[in-house]
A and B are shown apart, each in its own frame.
Chain A
């Protein structure tokens, strides 16, 4: 889950009167017949870390590049801090980008790299020196000022790239897969560093990533993209707990999806009959759907309880055999095959070191709280 930054604790996206800092209005980008970005509209607020999350080819990088001025939209407009920036070239935008490959100038040292942007703005030399030094200290690279890029490690290069783009105090910082090239431990460490840096400087971030864990950790809000469209935008918990479609439910984290038909539809609850499940699902909140509509109930693996004894109740209970177990140290993943043939994924934390372990082929009962399923209609 994300750590909400100070600037966005107020959740301005819920406030209809708040003015968006970046407004993307019906942006489309076509390459020939192919629509890389299809009629996307977005509001991003000052101080946010907004993550564009999606698989490769979904259009997230194209959208980012349009924000940076490296691609011109085929139609639509982009406003940054109230000004229409559509079609403005990158060197005239108050936006800076941190490239996936870092793009550090190999023939300049760290100091010169970071100072480059300030030189283009004709900032006086003394001020450049001061701001560069401050920024390098902030990213903890003060003693590396005279080194050349090829003498730096991957993590150090990334911090130089970050320093270089932040030293100009841009209104918007774009980050293209910032943590992709780092190994796992470094990635976690850098995630928290990025958040703290952003909090200190108050810059608005837009991050592109295909790694949902990264998005969940960094973002104040996530925009899930698929085939050029934003299919859902919301806070990480909204996206995870209240996905608006099968796609989002399946894309972020793992999920069990049961197809079924609405048999009872009341304002406070619904009941779904699912052949896949071989039973009924009782959900303790109302949904808006047509009567007798085909719906899908999504239940997260960590919300499924597994036991050898049969639980009470008729709804939300099903029986199966343990088909596979994956032991991950902190938790275990169980794949349970139901009599209908459907395989359900269950995760349980290994809370005890000497648990009476559930083993392969064991008959188990699965159940979940009525508030756990999310019902989606598409």
Chain B
């Protein structure tokens, strides 16, 4: 392919990425600013780690982070199971009763505004509580159920598209050699699509960790998640501790993504060398 470099395109890309990253970088820089005003650089006392210290001792934020973590892990694990089942069904079974509905139900959450999903879930929980007594009040359980409902849609898309590019001859070959369909799934399909499932897990976890709107609707007293706490702080304006939180989040995500990429590149390099 002719990799013609167009100056117009290169400029667009440069500006585009600058647009995406300047705000992030500014947050990181100002997390080291001693001034409480955040964006007015206090050169006398900066750079400083005092806000880092303050954040890591902030009970409210730490409690909220812990709740977000719990909800995130349970949500991701549950979503992966539901999403893999749905993704597998949609990719492999060309015709079954309810296929159209299942397809619609797994793509709608991807575009639906969260206020609508959040409102509807809350009203469901209230109605359920009235009729059958469960769930008793909103809290971590209802939040997790709400998160799982929209996360599984994303996992379905990831798994479904991975299976679409998966040579079904592999599954046929395994059956031909004597393995029953269930065994084929666990011994052949699952190990091969495992990276997709893992990225689905990470996607579901991130969506849950960052979610504000659905969490606000479906949470109860004492179950505030990290985004909910951040939002209440941020409504009033800037806060240096939030800058610190942002820096920490970005660092963790960057390390993870860079780490995974390096690990995958290394693995393929090793395999090529062994050939």
Contacts and interface: CB of A to CB of B under 8 A. Distances in A.
A touching B, CB within 8 angstroms: yes
Nearest to A115: B177
A294 B169 CA distance: 48
B191 A107 contact: yes
Interface in B152-187: 167, 169-170, 172-180, 183
B274 interface: yes
A81 B177 CA distance: 19
B177 A116 contact: yes
Contacts of B179: 91, 116, 120
A13 to B, nearest CB: 27
A164 B177 contact: yes
Contacts of B177: 91, 96, 116-117, 120, 164-165, 168
Contacts of A329: none
A148 interface: yes
Interface of A: 68-70, 89-91, 95-97, 99-101, 103, 105-107, 116-117, 120-121, 147-148, 150-151, 164-165, 168
B173 A99 contact: yes
B59 interface: no
A16 B173 CA distance: 36
A99 B275 CA distance: 24
A203 to B, nearest CB: 15
A105 B271 contact: no
Contacts of B248: none
B271 A151 contact: yes
A67 to B, nearest CB: 11
B128 interface: no
B192 interface: yes
A89 B178 CA distance: 9
A103 B169 contact: yes
Contacts of B191: 107
Given A91-B179, A120-B179, A168-B177, A107 B192 contact: yes
B169 A101 contact: yes
B188 A105 contact: yes
A250 B56 CA distance: 83
Contacts of A107: 191-192
Contact of A90 (B176, B188, B274): B176
B172 A103 contact: yes
Interface residues of B, number: 19
Given A91-B179, A91-B180, A120-B178, A103 B271 contact: no
B169 A99 contact: yes
9 contacts: A70-B175, A90-B176, A91-B175, A105-B173, A116-B174, A116-B179, A120-B183, A150-B275, A151-B274
Kindly list the 6 A-B residue pairs having the minimum CB-CB distance in the complex, ordered from nearest: A120-B178, A117-B177, A103-B173, A151-B275, A103-B169, A90-B175
Tell me which of B175, B180, B183, B192 has the highest count of chain A C-beta atoms within 10 A of its own C-beta: B175
A150 B272 CA distance: 9
Contacts of B167: 101, 103
Contacts of A117: 177-178
Nearest to B179: A120
A97 B178 contact: no
B274 A96 contact: no
A9 to B, nearest CB: 31
Contacts of A69: 176
Nearest to B170: A103
Given A91-B178, A103-B173, A165-B177, 12 more contacts: A70-B176, A91-B179, A103-B169, A105-B188, A107-B191, A116-B177, A117-B177, A120-B179, A148-B271, A151-B274, A168-B177, A168-B178
A91 B170 contact: no
B265 to A, nearest CB: 16
Nearest to B172: A70
A99 B174 CA distance: 11
Nearest to A114: B177
A148 B183 CA distance: 22
B83 to A, nearest CB: 22
B267 to A, nearest CB: 12
B151 to A, nearest CB: 27
Contact of B172 (A99, A105, A116, A151): A99
Contacts of A89: 175
Contacts of B169: 99-101, 103
A106 B192 contact: yes
A8 B183 CA distance: 39
A281 B97 CA distance: 64
A97 B173 contact: yes
A47 B175 CA distance: 24
Given A99-B169, A105-B170, A106-B192, A91 B275 contact: no
A68 B178 CA distance: 12
Interface string B71-85: 000000000000000
A101 B166 CA distance: 12
A69 B176 CA distance: 8
A116 B183 CA distance: 12
A151 B169 CA distance: 20
Contacts of B170: 103, 105-106
A117 B188 CA distance: 13
Tell me which of B174, B176, B179, B191 has the highest count of chain A C-beta atoms within 10 A of its own C-beta: B176
Contacts of A70: 172, 175-176
A226 B218 CA distance: 64
Interface in B31-60: none
Interface string B221-263: 0000000000000000000000000000000000000000000
